[in-house]
């Protein structure tokens, strides 16, 4: 019954915390904890501390991963057998990391795990590996420093060789002791495995041109048969090509789950840790376990096929399903009931209208908006389907910023969209937009021109503009007011801030830049001034304009 | 010892051999015209004649340059124990001159039981190196410098190479520089002042011929008769293996393998897979099936695998990109793909029409699995929708991928067929 822990958790915990927590058990029955707080680290900390898994348990906990598991086991080989470097690759959420980590739990062999997400630079990567090998843990007493300071690959190789040989020596000693005293040590063998997770990220490092061949050739450089290297990556080996080439590691491929596999995995609900954990709260709270199973059944029959057409990733699918499940449970007032056949049909009918909008919003559902919606749920009764599903609908979209910041945002948008040559005609004091309308005629030629312009806009995206232009447009539109009443308000507002306008606006601009509404480009080599670019989409700009009652569309050049 | 235990033991022996390049390449040490003998002659003559020398070992990866060199050095150290000091550098680690000299000084100190100072400057280290070279020359000791990944030392000012080779011009010093590189034009990378000091001895390591591969196979896979293994097991294993090696079908497999890459390194990876699956399905002997099964795991087609992992929406995006590419637009970005996607939807009324956000996510998946990529790395200010992208798969690959995809909508096939006609 034991379940794999979610890979997310695996990646985020340190080894010591996995060996301390009863990690792989998420079901309640296994909650008896056997915390043996490791005060001082020893070799035994290099394996999972708990009782090991049998091969069958391992295979059962990963549905549809049997071939990969067997292949990996045979490539790792029997105890103490050397191994050429392995390269495990496959799409996101196909179980690469969890399989390999759980496999070491099964084999009880010492390993060193480092993920290139957390070790985001060569130095951190090197020091993290060395810290683990030297049984060193950063804490207050040592001022959170690493065991060795090491930045260059050459130092790293020397230190690593030294550390590995002492480590392997202690493993051998351990082996001798345990065989003589008949003490069963939890550590098996004298091989040490280095696992580099998220290896594709190394490609984006500054020094990737030297780091990639270095890490791939590490096995040949070290020349130690007791070391096994395992690279785990989301992208295939051919995306790692570099000029000098490298000794190719042995590829092991994890294919994505097919639709049938997904069906099985979702049915075998406990086997999917992410989906399960997101519902865990519900299930324990409402004892709706049976209901959940029915829900999954419906998902499989009716919904999964549709969703699979857009994505086949478990993590994304399960986040998409979670609001649906919530919806599904809604008509059931009584919490403990098990629905009958009729009831089930009714529930499905209730669910049906939500399925297709949910699909189009599949990836919109962030955990944040989900929480928000549930927080607001009591306060307001929401009408639209989207809102009921916990998705922030576009109507109540609100940017919490000052009026002048909104105007600034709009003027940045205008400056990015409109050609600079038209500014004069758009914003001149006499006629404003009307003057332009007279000029434009819809001849064939202009239509054609318009089309190519549109095409260009589509390709080039928003244009850049200097600060002066932004301020000029800002001044023009801030003067604008739609009707008399607004005039007073607006007039008052801008009279007030006329005095402190410039410094205030520049501050606002920098905060908009920080919030990534406006991006700051490199300075233009000819003019020498910094150029800006608005990154907001037209929808957002229009909404902001609406909130100010500003007729943005009149000013947009089309 | 039971059969199973014997099989595990045999597997261990084979795996150990496969992970030890020195063992694999020791087979070439017997023949007189092999690179091994030539290299040994060059180095040992300069050791015995107390002269300076330099040589480059060139050849693709996996041809045994380093392994042969290691064998030669090992033997030389055995023969002339006190007279040879080996300093090993690697271009991947020590391409920086400062770092390289420090490492030389460190290894020299280690060899001669001297105290190494980490704080020594570049100048100190180079003076130390020169005086060591002189001292060793006076004592008739040879220092052998091994520069692995030699081409990486030729970047920049080449100060290290210059100072090494320049020091070797004097009569007092006694050193051999051995460069190892997989770039066949490595000597052309050298500056003039360095090149003129370099002896142009080169040894070329080429991918092995069919006969050599056959010899390597026998050398690696035949179990030793003098091991702890039971005699009858070894005898059956070897007999079966010899029969297998003579089999035409087996030869065919090796031929297909060496068709793409006939280096020994490639063969070793292939054998590693076969050997590690030895006990799983055929009771401790190597059979034809194992080798057959090992072949596809090495000859992967990552792009097609990537296509198989795509969802249908992602396939739509790829096909739309391909259509745009055929139209010879200057650049493609997400917005133009969406326009194309919409027009495909409008003309064919497909059932798969999704919101822009969903498509954007699918688009990001494609970038993540490297089926498409951004054309430039710089456009950080731009949002994803506007950055120009390019397809990383050919028309043919996409066509194949769609064909082998299980539930591919027929409309995509039709679109691809049409593109194919206009593309050809």
Torsion of CA B118, A165, B114, B83, to 10 degrees: -130
Residues 6+ apart with CB under 8 A from B295: B253, B256, B257, B270
* Chain A interface, best mutation among B116, B276, B339, by max A CB count within 10 A: B276
Segment (H or E) for B316: helix B312-326
Which of B213, B223, B284, B283 shows the shortest CA–CA distance to B250?
Answer: B213
Q: Note the pLDDT tens digit of each residue in B386-397.
A: 888 888 888 888
Could you tell me the pLDDT band of residue A368, with boundaries at 50, 70 and 90? very low
Higher-confidence position of A445 and A396: A445
Read off the DSSP letter of residue A29: G
- Asked if residue A275 has pLDDT above 50, the reply is no
Residues 6+ apart with CB under 8 A from B180: B56, B57, B65, B66, B69, B146, B147, B148, B149, B150
Q: Note the pLDDT tens digit of each residue in A10-36.
A: 333 444 434 333 333 333 333 333 333
Give how far B72 is from chain A: nearest CA, Å: 16
Mean pLDDT of A236-247: 77
Chain B neighbours among A 375-434 (CB < 8 Å)?
none
SS3 A445: helix
Of B34-38, B113-117, B185-189, B278-282, the least confident = B278-282
pLDDT at B103: 92
Which of A246, A157, A232, A156 shows the shortest CA–CA distance to A201?
Answer: A232
Neighbouring-strand partners of residue A519: A533
- Chain A residues lying within 8 Å of B96, measured CB to CB: 152
* Chain B interface, best mutation among A72, A364, A459, A539, by max B CB count within 10 A: A459
Could you tell me the pLDDT band of residue A397, with boundaries at 50, 70 and 90? low
Mean pLDDT of A270-275: 44
pLDDT at A129: 92
Higher-confidence position of A509 and A175: A509
Dist CA A403 CA A411 (whole Å) = 12
Residue-wise DSSP of A126-138: HHHHHHHHTT---
Q: Which CATH class is domain A7-254?
A: alpha beta
Could you tell me the pLDDT band of residue B259, with boundaries at 50, 70 and 90? confident
DSSP strand pairing (A530-534 vs A518-523):
antiparallel
Q: What domains are there in chain B, each with its CATH number?
A: 3-17+209-298 (no CATH), 31-204 (3.40.50.300), 304-423 (1.10.10.10)
Q: Note the pLDDT tens digit of each residue in A210-235.
A: 888 899 989 989 988 889 999 999 88
Residues 6+ apart with CB under 8 A from A50: A19, A22, A24, A34, A105
- Asked if residue A528 has pLDDT above 80, the reply is no
In chain A, where are the structural domains located? 7-254, 262-388, 403-436+455-555
Chain A neighbours among B 312-351 (CB < 8 Å)?
312-313, 330-331, 333, 335-336, 339
pLDDT at A159: 92
- Asked if residue A353 has pLDDT above 50, the reply is yes
- Chain B residues lying within 8 Å of A234, measured CB to CB: 368-369
pLDDT at B249: 92
pLDDT at A272: 44
Give how far B314 is from chain A: nearest CA, Å: 7
Dist CA B187 CA B197 (whole Å) = 12
Could you tell me the pLDDT band of residue B248, with boundaries at 50, 70 and 90? very high
CB contact burial A480-503 (16+ within 10 A = b; e otherwise) = bbeeeeeeeebeebbeeeeeebee
Q: Is B414 on the interface with A (CB under 8 A)?
A: no
Give how far A451 is from chain B: nearest CA, Å: 13
Q: Note the pLDDT tens digit of each residue in B296-311.
A: 888 888 888 888 888 8
Q: Note the pLDDT tens digit of each residue in B145-163.
A: 999 999 989 888 888 899 8
Give how far A79 is from chain B: nearest CA, Å: 9
- Chain B residues lying within 8 Å of A462, measured CB to CB: 386
- Look-up: residue for tokens 């060395």? A130
* Range among A60-64, A126-130, A444-448 rated most confident: A126-130
- Asked if residue B184 has pLDDT above 80, the reply is yes
Q: Is B103 on the interface with A (CB under 8 A)?
A: yes
Which of A103, A87, A112 shows the shortest CA–CA distance to A14?
Answer: A112
What's the token pair of residue A67? Answer: 């071939």
Q: Is B362 on the interface with A (CB under 8 A)?
A: yes
Could you tell me the pLDDT band of residue B270, with boundaries at 50, 70 and 90? very high
Q: Do the Cβ atoms of B416 and B399 come closer than 8 Å?
A: yes
Dist CA B121 CA A119 (whole Å) = 31
Mean pLDDT of B5-28: 88
Could you tell me the pLDDT band of residue B416, with boundaries at 50, 70 and 90? confident
- Asked if residue A38 has pLDDT above 70, the reply is no
Dist CA B69 CA B216 (whole Å) = 18
Q: Do the Cβ atoms of A82 and B19 come closer than 8 Å?
A: yes
Angle at A356 between CA A352 and CA A358, to 5 degrees: 100
Q: Is A136 exposed, middle or buried (0-12, 13-18, 19+ CB in 10 A)?
A: middle
What's the token pair of residue A462? Answer: 């928003």
**A360–B297: do the CB atoms touch at under 8 Å?**
no
Residues 6+ apart with CB under 8 A from A59: A65, A66, A69, A70
What's the token pair of residue A327? Answer: 């919806």
- Asked if residue A160 has pLDDT above 90, the reply is yes
| Average pLDDT across chain A, whole number | 70
Give how far A534 is from chain B: nearest CA, Å: 9
pLDDT at A2: 38
- Asked if residue B73 has pLDDT above 70, the reply is yes
Read off the DSSP letter of residue B58: E
pLDDT at B88: 93
Task: Number of A to B CB contacts under 8 A, please give it.
Answer: 173
Could you tell me the pLDDT band of residue B87, with boundaries at 50, 70 and 90? very high
Dist CA B351 CA B371 (whole Å) = 24
pLDDT at A369: 39
Neighbouring-strand partners of residue A192: A227
What's the token pair of residue A336? Answer: 């403990």
pLDDT at B406: 77
Higher-confidence position of A204 and A493: A204
Q: Is A205 on the interface with B (CB under 8 A)?
A: no
Dist CA A53 CA A68 (whole Å) = 17
Q: Which of A84, A256, A310 sits opposite B313 (nearest CB)?
A: A310
Of A293-302, A327-336, A362-371, B285-294, the least confident = A362-371
Give how far A271 is from chain B: nearest CA, Å: 21
What's the token pair of residue A225? Answer: 């048969």
Mean pLDDT of B63-78: 91
Conformational region of residue A5, where left means phi above 0, alpha means psi within -120 to 50, and beta covers everything else: beta
What's the token pair of residue A545? Answer: 């304009």
The residue length of chain A stands at 558
Dist CA A412 CA A101 (whole Å) = 50
Read off the DSSP letter of residue B332: B
pLDDT at A198: 92
Q: Is B261 on the interface with A (CB under 8 A)?
A: no
Q: Which of A235, A460, A461 sits opposite B369 (nearest CB)?
A: A235
**B386–A210: do the CB atoms touch at under 8 Å?**
no
Q: What is the ipTM of this complex?
A: 0.91
pLDDT at A378: 35
Mean pLDDT of B346-370: 84
- Look-up: residue for tokens 């079901």? A27
pLDDT at A48: 64
Q: Is B26 exposed, middle or buried (0-12, 13-18, 19+ CB in 10 A)?
A: middle
Dist CA B369 CA B355 (whole Å) = 22
Which of A299, A275, A289, A288 shows the shortest CA–CA distance to A355?
Answer: A299
- Asked if residue B329 has pLDDT above 80, the reply is no
Phi, psi for residue B309 in degrees, rounded to 5: -80, -5
Could you tell me the pLDDT band of residue A285, with boundaries at 50, 70 and 90? very low
pLDDT at A77: 86
Could you tell me the pLDDT band of residue A276, with boundaries at 50, 70 and 90? very low
Give how far B177 is from chain A: nearest CA, Å: 19
Could you tell me the pLDDT band of residue A443, with boundaries at 50, 70 and 90? low
- Chain A residues lying within 8 Å of B268, measured CB to CB: 84
Q: Is B381 on the interface with A (CB under 8 A)?
A: yes
Its sign, for the CA torsion B153, B158, B164, B170, is positive
Segment (H or E) for A90: strand A86-90
């Amino acid at each position: 019954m034991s379940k794999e822990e979610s890979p997310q958790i695996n990646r985020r915990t340190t080894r010591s915390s996995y060996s301390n927590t009863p990690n792989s058990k998420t079901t309640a029955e296994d909650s008896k904890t056997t915390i043996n707080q490791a005060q001082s680290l020893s070799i035994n900390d290099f394996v999972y501390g708990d009782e090991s898994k049998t091969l069958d348990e391992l295979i059962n906990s990963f549905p549809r991963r049997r071939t990969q598991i067997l292949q990996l086991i045979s490539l790792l080989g029997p105890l103490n057998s050397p191994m050429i470097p392995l390269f495990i690759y496959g799409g996101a959420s196909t179980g690469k990391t969890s399989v390999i980590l759980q496999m070491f739990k099964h084999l009880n062999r010492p390993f060193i795990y480092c993920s290139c997400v957390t070790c985001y630079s060569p130095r951190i990567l090197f020091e993290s590996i060395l810290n683990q090998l030297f049984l060193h843990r950063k804490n207050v007493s040592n001022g959170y420093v690493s065991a060795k300071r090491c930045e260059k690959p050459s130092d790293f190789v020397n230190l690593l060789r030294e550390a590995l040989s002492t480590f392997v020596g202690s493993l051998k000693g351990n082996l001798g002791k345990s065989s003589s005293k008949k003490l069963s040590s939890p550590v098996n063998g004298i091989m040490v495995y280095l696992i580099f997770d998220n290896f594709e990220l190394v490609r984006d490092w500054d020094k990737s041109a030297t780091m990639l061949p270095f890490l791939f050739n590490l096995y040949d450089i070290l020349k130690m048969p007791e070391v096994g290297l395992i690279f785990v990556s989301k992208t295939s080996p051919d995306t790692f090509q570099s000029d000098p080439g490298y000794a190719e590691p042995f590829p092991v491929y994890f294919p994505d789950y097919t639709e049938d596999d997904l069906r099985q995995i979702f049915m075998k609900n406990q086997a999917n840790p992410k989906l399960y954990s997101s519902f865990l709260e519900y299930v324990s709270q409402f004892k709706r376990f049976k209901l959940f199973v029915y829900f999954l059944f419906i998902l499989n029959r009716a919904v999964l096929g549709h969703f699979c057409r857009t994505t086949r990733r478990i993590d994304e699918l399960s986040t998409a399903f979670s609001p649906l499940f919530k919806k599904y449970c809604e008509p059931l007032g009584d919490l403990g009931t098990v629905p009958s056949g009729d009831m089930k049909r009714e529930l499905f009918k209730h669910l049906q209208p939500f399925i297709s909008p949910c699909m189009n919003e599949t990836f919109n559902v962030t955990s944040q908006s989900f929480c928000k919606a549930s927080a607001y749920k009591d306060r307001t009764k929401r009408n639209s389907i989207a809102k009921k599903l916990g998705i922030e609908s576009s109507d109540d979209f609100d940017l919490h910023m000052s009026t002048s910041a909104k105007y600034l945002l709009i003027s940045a948008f205008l400056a990015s969209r409109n050609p600079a040559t038209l500014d004069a005609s758009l914003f001149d004091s006499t006629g404003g937009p009307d003057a332009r309308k007279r000029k434009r005629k819809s001849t064939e030629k202009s239509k054609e021109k318009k089309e190519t312009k549109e095409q260009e806009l589509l390709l080039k995206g928003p244009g850049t503009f200097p600060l002066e232009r932004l301020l000029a447009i800002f001044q023009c539109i801030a003067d604008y007011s739609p009707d008399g009443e607004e005039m007073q308000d607006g007039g008052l507002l801008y009279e007030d801030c006329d005095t402190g306008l410039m410094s205030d606006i520049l501050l606002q601009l920098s905060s908009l830049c920080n919030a990534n509404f406006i991006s700051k480009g490199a300075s233009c080599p000819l003019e020498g001034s910094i150029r800006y670019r608005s990154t907001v989409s037209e929808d957002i700009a229009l909404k902001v304009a609406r909130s100010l009652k500003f007729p943005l569309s009149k000013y947009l050049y089309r | 010892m039971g059969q199973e235990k014997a099989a595990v033991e045999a597997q261990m022996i084979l795996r150990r051999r496969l992970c030890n390049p020195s063992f694999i390449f020791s087979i070439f040490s017997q023949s007189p015209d092999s690179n091994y003998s030539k290299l040994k002659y060059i180095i040992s003559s300069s050791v015995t004649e107390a002269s300076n020398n330099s040589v480059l070992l060139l050849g693709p990866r996996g041809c045994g340059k380093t392994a042969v060199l290691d064998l030669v050095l090992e033997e030389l150290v055995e023969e002339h124990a006190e007279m040879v000091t080996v300093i090993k550098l690697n271009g991947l680690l020590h391409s920086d001159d400062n770092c390289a000299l420090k490492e030389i000084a460190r290894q020299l100190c280690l060899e001669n039981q001297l105290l190494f100072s980490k704080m020594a400057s570049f100048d100190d280290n180079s003076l130390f190196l020169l005086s060591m070279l002189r001292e060793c020359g006076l004592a008739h000791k040879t220092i052998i410098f091994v520069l692995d990944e030699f081409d990486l030392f030729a970047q920049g000012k080449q100060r290290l190479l210059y100072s090494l080779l320049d020091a070797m011009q004097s009569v007092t010093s006694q050193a051999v520089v051995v460069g190892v590189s997989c770039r066949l034009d490595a000597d052309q990378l050298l500056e003039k002042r360095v090149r003129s000091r370099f002896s142009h001895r080169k040894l070329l390591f080429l991918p092995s011929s069919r006969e050599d591969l056959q010899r390597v196979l026998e050398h690696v896979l035949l179990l030793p008769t003098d091991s702890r293994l039971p005699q009858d097991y070894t005898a059956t294993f070897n007999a079966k293996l010899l029969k297998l090696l003579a089999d035409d079908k087996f030869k065919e497999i090796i031929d297909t393998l060496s068709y793409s890459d006939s280096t020994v390194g490639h063969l070793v990876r292939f054998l590693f897979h076969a050997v590690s699956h030895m006990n799983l399905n055929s009771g401790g002997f190597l059979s034809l099936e194992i080798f057959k099964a090992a072949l596809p795991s090495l000859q992967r087609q990552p792009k097609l695998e990537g296509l198989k992992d795509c969802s249908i929406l992602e396939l739509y995006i790829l096909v739309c990109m391909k259509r745009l590419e055929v139209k010879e637009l200057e650049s493609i970005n997400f917005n133009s793909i969406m326009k194309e996607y919409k027009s495909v939807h409008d003309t064919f009324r497909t059932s798969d029409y999704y919101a822009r956000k969903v498509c954007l996510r699918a688009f990001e998946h494609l970038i993540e699995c490297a089926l498409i990529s951004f054309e430039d790395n710089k456009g950080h200010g731009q949002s994803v929708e506007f950055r120009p992208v390019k397809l990383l798969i050919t028309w043919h690959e996409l066509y194949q991928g769609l064909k082998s995809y299980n539930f591919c909508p027929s409309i995509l096939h039709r679109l691809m067929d049409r593109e194919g006609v206009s593309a050809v």
